[in-house]
Amino acid sequence: MTTQEPYTLDLAGRGFIQGLTFADEATGAPIAHRFGGLPYAQPLAGRPRWRRARPLDDAFVYGTRERPGSFAGQCTVCPQPSFDGSSVTHGCEENEDCLQVNVWVPAGAEPGDGWPVFVYIHGGFLQMGDANGLNPLHLYAETDCKFVLVEPAYRLNVLGFLASKELQEEAKTDGDETVGNLGFWDQRLALEWTRDNIELFGGDPDNITVGGYSAGSHSTFYQLQYDLFQPDENSLIRRAIMWSNGPGVQPKSMREAQAQFDWLLKAADIPPTISSESKLARLRAMDPATLILASTSTPLHEYRATTDGAFVRPDLFAAIDDGRFAARMRRRGVSLLTGECRDERFLYGTYRPAKEDSLPALLDRLDADYGPRAVDALRRFYFPEGRLPDSMEDWRSDAFGKVYSAMQIYATERGFIAGLVRGGVALGAAEEEGSRVTEKARDEDVVDSISDAEFDVVAGWGGEEFGGAVHGVSGEEEREEGAEQEQRGVEDVETEHHPNEHGDDDVDHVDAQIPLMLDENRHRIGKQSEGNPRRKGPGSSSSPGAALAPPRPHSRLFRYRIDFRSSVVHDNPTWGVFHGSDMTLWFLGMTATLPPGEKALAREALVEPLGRYLRGEDPGWGVSGRDAREMRRVTSEGTVDIWRDGRWEEGVGLWEELRRAGVAAGEGSGSGVARGGPKL
């Protein structure tokens, strides 16, 4: 139990703010300070809907010493549909002008360089959700996993991801540089606010981790891809965490976005023949609730990213496949922690499922997210004979849940990992056993030894925005090197098939046995770690496909799998280890109190490694570093082991099918016309 009292912080040139201090009720010891609803951008009010947000003015202050800004609440919530899309949510403060952050700070003196910073992006399919969901108090009070937590709100659904030629024409006239992807641009602005201001809260601006769950994980991927292709002086991400989601496919083209816009006009009863200015004026005159209900009533009701050439590169997924994405990660020394729950499909199967129990209805539903080209690839991969497989119970929910979760998580996560490994990203720890040198200190030494130009020549990176030629390396040479990396990459890994483990059995929570299991884990993981090849110097690598010679920062990949369901998770008891249920482990119960044995399991398996990861230390993952399929797993029995991925072939196979269809290779997910726009 905690108590709360006001807390005032001096932000120097940004003025004074008042938040809350949370203290232990029994001892009175302060645990954390929280500031809720801090603006990170200029107000959207007064500007037309669907415009890029602007950063705060340099002269902006939150409050004065005499009248500090009051930030004891939480972030405003972007207007949004209900889970099934049939209504608009109510009961919380909703406003399009929602560009705010919550900031949690551990109580007490910060380390010499400041606290590590974790920017957590909330999930919700990019259609719903809010930034008020996390509670790190158990972490701060009971572990050394301490960091400044920043939770940004951003625009969602049709408010955050609408794009069209009408908006493009207006943007050109008004001098705005881009349209679409507003939610991603909002997130980026929050990241830049964090870099520029977090030192005032005791955070280290040079040690920022970006992560998220579900759509927040998906967003993390897009923030990472944007950051990696920025000049060094604009880069700010040190490492990433992708909890239960993947990169998806190359976002829709502007042509597809236009089909979605045209459906919106039809649902809003706006004539398609009127001028562009009139169309936009009528849409902007609609209140958020009416607009959102119209948007969810169309066949293309999922509003996601657009390949705009500004935030999302047209060759993004080609860059993953040919090694350029990995080369950028290695150049910057960016690491990735990524993984999944065992039973993700159950929640996904309930999210706006197919309207009928048939294959055509299933394909129509998937088209709302991925476009016709991707849907055709999914049909060929999962339903080549056009019938329901024996492993699926029905089309409407079971088949949909399994295919949807594969696209959102299992398959695209594995295709992405395969591309990183082909490009030379190291697997697991990069230090010799027992070393406590942080990656930050190590990388600074390495970066000092190699110039940007030298790295670009060695890595085969052209450097212009879409693969041009600088430093004497052409785009063609860059692609040739990527192809060579692909040939010598994960194809060298054994392809023995291991049965998939997807049990729905109830998890037995034998509290007294878990400490004994933990002792066994320590022995097992220690044995597995003995003799592991560790990187002896910055030029060596234990991962397949990493053959570049000069020294470079270490970029590392850590995979996990959660098969354990905590006893404090009471929702959906038949769903097993479903999407989101593992957050009670990562955050040591969140607002609930874990039983002692489960708390010990969470600390050893996830929390303590997470803390080391955020600090830039070796998390002690326990994998050999030789096989991309190795995942640190929390088993259903409450043990920790290293699991050899049973879904690797399916995931990489679907990624390849999507690439053959032109979906994951930078050609866009489909035409957006053949199965898209309404008949006029």
Catalytically active residues are 214
Name the token pair of 531.
Answer: 């003799």
**C-alpha dihedral sign at 504, 506, 508, 509:** positive
Find the DSSP H helices in 333-433. 345-348, 359-370, 372-382, 400-405, 411-422
Q: Are 646 and 500 in contact (CB under 8 A)?
A: yes
Pairing state between β 335-341 and 203-213: unpaired
- Give the span between the Cα atoms of 570 and 568, in whole angstroms: 6
Helix (H, G, I), strand (E, B) or coil at 601: helix
Helix (H) or strand (E) run with residue 259 in it: helix 254-267
677: amino acid identity, one letter: G
603: amino acid identity, one letter: R
Q: Quick one: how far is CA 513 from the chain centroid?
A: 35
Could you give phi then psi for residue 217, rounded to 5 degrees? -70, -45
- In angstroms, the first-to-last Cα distance of the chain is 60
Q: How many residues does the chain have?
A: 680
Name the token pair of 295.
Answer: 């948007």
Helix (H, G, I), strand (E, B) or coil at 554: coil
For 126, left (φ over 0), alpha (ψ -120 to 50), or beta?
Answer: left
Helix (H, G, I), strand (E, B) or coil at 213: strand
Q: Residues near 96 by Cβ (< 8 Å), separated by ≥ 6?
A: 44, 49, 78, 79, 155, 159, 288
Q: Are 502 and 405 in contact (CB under 8 A)?
A: no
Name the token pair of 597.
Answer: 């044995």
Task: Specify burial of residue 89 (Cβ count, 10 A radius: 0-12, 13-18, 19+).
Answer: middle
Comparing CA positions, the residue from 464, 488, 496, 489 lying closest to residue 478 is 464
Tell me how far CA of residue 461 lies from CA of 215, 452, 609, in angstroms: 30, 10, 33
